Amino acid sequence: MRSISKWLGLAAVGITLTGCVSQQEFKKVQAERDSLRNQVESARAEAEDFRNQLGEVSDQAKGKDEQITQLSSQNSELQSQLDEINKQYAEALERGHNPLPQAVTNELSEFASKNSDVLSFDSERGIIKFKSDVSFPAGSPELTAKASEAINTLAKILNEGGVKDYELMIAGHTDAMPVSRPETIRAGHKDNWYLSAHRAIAVGKALQKSQVSAFRMAMVGYADQRPVASNASEDGRAKNRRVELIILPTKATAASSEWLKTGKAGAAARKTSTESKSGTAQTESGPAYNK
């Protein structure tokens, strides 16, 4: 009996020990299972977050593609407008006759004679040329008092019956000396393209203030790419620094000038004049008079 009791006691102890080990293993497996479940949930959350990020990137890419398409279309439109402006400018310079009524030509000739220190009038082509050295301070698009007064008088002539509906092209030009004055660059006139365009715009804005309709105008800057004299001398450079106002023999109409009414013309002129491809600037020696 004593042997049997001893054996049963040992068996009980063994069973107890065996059950204790199994419970530890179970808890271990349970902990590993819980850890794995947490890892799975975390992975799912990361995957969902990644899908959301992919969606956002996809939407952004789609938006960028649409923006690129829109900008390409606008660029094509602006280039088309610039090509038309360049064509009209070339035709105006090449024409061998003055398209203006004789009465207007006579009035402009008298006007130019009274303001010869500020501008000249090409009676053969009907082109008014503002002298930049007198019309603007050095390196600036701000009109001088003399130029402003002359433009106010000119506006009255341009609004008369003979030419009141004619289109106007205002073209800014510089010499070949690069812009170097720090104050000019700080003011936003980074190079000759900017300076020539800003001066053309200044003349156009002054005409608008004097009641000349913006509907009739196009403004563009040619930097040093359309010289009328050699840049090798100061006299030649002075002639190249100019703003031309060309009175075109075509009448402004709603069909041909709708882009002006919507405000695209001003943006086109500024953009094409400041962002168009610049030619290689010459570097003749001499003082940078207006830069």
pLDDT in tens, 244-267: 999 987 776 544 444 444 444 444
Percent of the chain with pLDDT over 70: 78
Per-residue model confidence (pLDDT) at position 217: 93
Q: What DSSP assignment string belongs to the chain?
A: -HHHHHHHHHHHHHHHHHHHHHHHHHHHHHHHHHHHHHHHHHHHHHHHHHHHHHHHHHHHHHHHHHHHHHHHHHHHHHHHHHHHHHHHHHHHHH--S--S-HHHHHHHHHHHHHTTTTEEEETTTTEEEEEHHHHS-TT--PPPHHHHHHHHHHHHHHTSTTTTTEEEEEEEE--SSPP--HHHHHTT--SHHHHHHHHHHHHHHHHHHTT--GGGEEEEE-TTSS-SS-TTSHHHHHHHSEEEEEEEEEEP-HHHHHHHHTTHHHHHHHHHHHHSPPPPPP--SS--TT-
Per-residue model confidence (pLDDT) at position 23: 75
- The answer to which of 42-56, 122-136, 231-245, 272-286 has the lowest mean pLDDT is 272-286
Per-residue model confidence (pLDDT) at position 253: 57
Per-residue model confidence (pLDDT) at position 128: 96
pLDDT band at 71 (very low <50, low <70, confident <90, very high): confident
Average pLDDT, the chain: 79
Where do the structural domains in the chain lie, given as residue ranges?
1-87, 95-275
The more confident residue out of 74 and 99 is: 99
Region 107-126: mean pLDDT is 94
Percent of the chain with pLDDT over 90: 47
Per-residue model confidence (pLDDT) at position 267: 44
Region 77-98: mean pLDDT is 75
Region 140-158: mean pLDDT is 97
Per-residue model confidence (pLDDT) at position 289: 59
pLDDT band at 16 (very low <50, low <70, confident <90, very high): very low
Region 173-200: mean pLDDT is 95
pLDDT in tens, 18-52: 445 577 777 777 777 777 777 777 778 777 777 78
- The answer to which of 12-16, 140-144, 188-192 has the lowest mean pLDDT is 12-16
CATH number of 95-275: 3.30.1330.60
- The answer to which of 122-136, 194-208, 242-256, 273-287 has the lowest mean pLDDT is 273-287
Per-residue model confidence (pLDDT) at position 200: 97
Per-residue model confidence (pLDDT) at position 263: 46
Region 69-97: mean pLDDT is 75
